[in-house]
C-alpha cells in the first residue's frame, strides 16, 4: 500500500499506532460511501478530505 506520508503520519497520530492507521486506510467507510481511504487518496481533493475526516475523528465528531 502506497500512502502519502502526511496521511499515514496523521492517521497514526489519530489512531495511536501504525497498525491501526493501516487498518483504517483499508476499511470501507460509510462517510466515504463505503470506499476505502486508500482508494480516495488518488482522487482530486482526496487527501484533503481524508485529513478532514481524521480531524473530525480526533475531535470526536461523528463521521
pLDDT digits (tens, 9 = 90+) for 5-28: 999 999 999 999 999 999 999 999
Q: Which pTM does this prediction carry?
A: 0.90
Give the per-residue pLDDT at 63. Answer: 59
Average pLDDT over residues 39-43: 94
Write the CA distances from 43 to 20, 22, 38, integer angstroms. Answer: 23, 19, 10
pLDDT for 51 beyond 70: yes
Alpha-helical segments (H) within 1-63: 5-15, 18-26, 37-40, 46-58
3-class DSSP state for residue 36?
coil
Residues listed for the chain? 63
Amino acid at each position: 500500500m502506497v500512502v502519502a506520508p502526511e496521511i499515514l503520519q496523521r492517521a497514526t497520530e489519530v489512531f495511536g499506532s501504525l497498525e491501526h492507521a493501516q487498518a483504517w486506510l483499508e476499511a470501507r467507510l460509510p462517510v466515504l460511501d463505503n470506499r476505502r481511504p486508500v482508494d480516495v487518496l488518488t482522487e482530486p481533493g482526496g487527501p484533503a478530505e481524508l485529513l478532514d475526516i481524521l480531524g473530525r475523528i480526533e475531535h470526536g465528531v461523528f463521521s
